Amino acid sequence: MLVLGSGTSHGVPMIGCECATCRSTDPRDRRFRASVLIQASDGPSVLIDTTTDLRSQALAHDVKRVDAIVYTHSHADHVMGLDEVRRFNVLQKSAIPCYGDGRTLGDLRRIYSYMFEPDAPKGGGIPQVVLVEIAGEFCIGAATFVPIPLMHGSRRIFGYRIGSFAYLTDCSAIPDESWPLLAGVQTLILDALRERPHPTHLSLNEAIAVAERLGPSRAYFTHMCHDLAHAATCARLPAGVELAYDGLSFDINL
């Protein structure tokens, strides 16, 4: 499992900002928009969200294959890199399935209408994707993806559980029915935007409380703004909890 991006919608550094985090020389304070790549041994590579930074993420982390894309929701920082997958189409000589809820897939059809026109050209100029609406848990290769309903402000979106791992980005609350789906999670990546409360994201203290309730062996926070400097924030987090960073990788049990 590879973290391609751990930043909020603005990324870090933010344009025009001179704060200490944005000027930091610690590479862990440079954050692309939030995304992860799940790479199974001798199996498919699954990308969660196509961020605005997808091309840069792929080049930075030597990503050469994407067999499937799974979407959490359709906000700009999670979908606006979809056009970049046409390079993977060329390399793989195949279309790429894209999984998401009905609203997300509808938004993709609207935003990228040129991709879905009956006479859309092929051959590298237009991404070749197949939209698949999620109706429950689904399998990609040997991995089973369990959709986890989350609240992102007033919008219901999906996080995902894959084996003992859960990825819960852009989360402001976990509905009652979702907690049982997370029982026994051992590795968790969870939204933690900043110190102060926010209407559509967990604050740092709220994220800590979720991690304490779930009790994973490892918890990493993601989708962080420049308020949270990596080293200083990690130094005061509970044992087993730390900030994720771009390039973080670890094994998960599928």
Q: Can you give the pLDDT at residue 42?
A: 78
Is the pLDDT confidence value at 30 over 70? yes
Structure tokens at 245: 């960073």
11-20, 112-121, 187-196: least confidently modelled range: 112-121
Kindly give, in sequence order, each residue whose CB lies less than 8 Å from that of residue 151, ignoring residues fewer than 6 positions away: 157, 171, 172, 173, 174, 175
**Residue 231's domain is classified under what CATH number?**
3.60.15.10
Is 113 inside a domain boundary?
A: yes
Q: Residues 45, 66: contact at Cβ < 8 Å?
A: yes
Residue 218: enclosing H or E segment and its boundaries? strand 218-222
Structure tokens at 197: 């409360």
Average pLDDT over residues 180-197: 98
Is 121 inside a domain boundary?
A: yes
Intra-chain end-to-end CA distance of the chain, in Å: 11
**Local confidence band at 121 (pLDDT 50, 70, 90 cut-offs):** confident
Is the pLDDT confidence value at 120 over 80? no
**Local confidence band at 254 (pLDDT 50, 70, 90 cut-offs):** confident
| Angle CA 5–125–45, to nearest 5 | 40
Is 181 inside a domain boundary?
A: yes
- How far apart, in whole angstroms, are the C-alpha atoms of residue 94 and residue 254? 25
Give how many domains the chain has, as a whole number: 1
**Local confidence band at 125 (pLDDT 50, 70, 90 cut-offs):** confident
Average pLDDT over residues 101-127: 89
Is 252 inside a domain boundary?
A: no
Average pLDDT over residues 135-143: 95
pLDDT digits (tens, 9 = 90+) for 66-103: 999 999 999 999 999 999 999 999 999 999 999 999 99
Is 43 inside a domain boundary?
A: yes
| Residues across the chain | 254
**Local confidence band at 124 (pLDDT 50, 70, 90 cut-offs):** low
3-class DSSP state for residue 220? Answer: strand
- How far apart, in whole angstroms, are the C-alpha atoms of residue 150 and residue 144? 19
Average pLDDT over residues 114-133: 86
- How far apart, in whole angstroms, are the C-alpha atoms of residue 35 and residue 192? 14
Range of the domain at 153: 2-243
| Angle CA 15–18–24, to nearest 5 | 95
Nearest to 165 by CA among 44, 37, 68: 37
Is 236 inside a domain boundary?
A: yes
Is 253 inside a domain boundary?
A: no
Is 192 inside a domain boundary?
A: yes
Average pLDDT over residues 221-244: 98
Is the pLDDT confidence value at 140 over 90? yes
- How far apart, in whole angstroms, are the C-alpha atoms of residue 114 and residue 65? 24
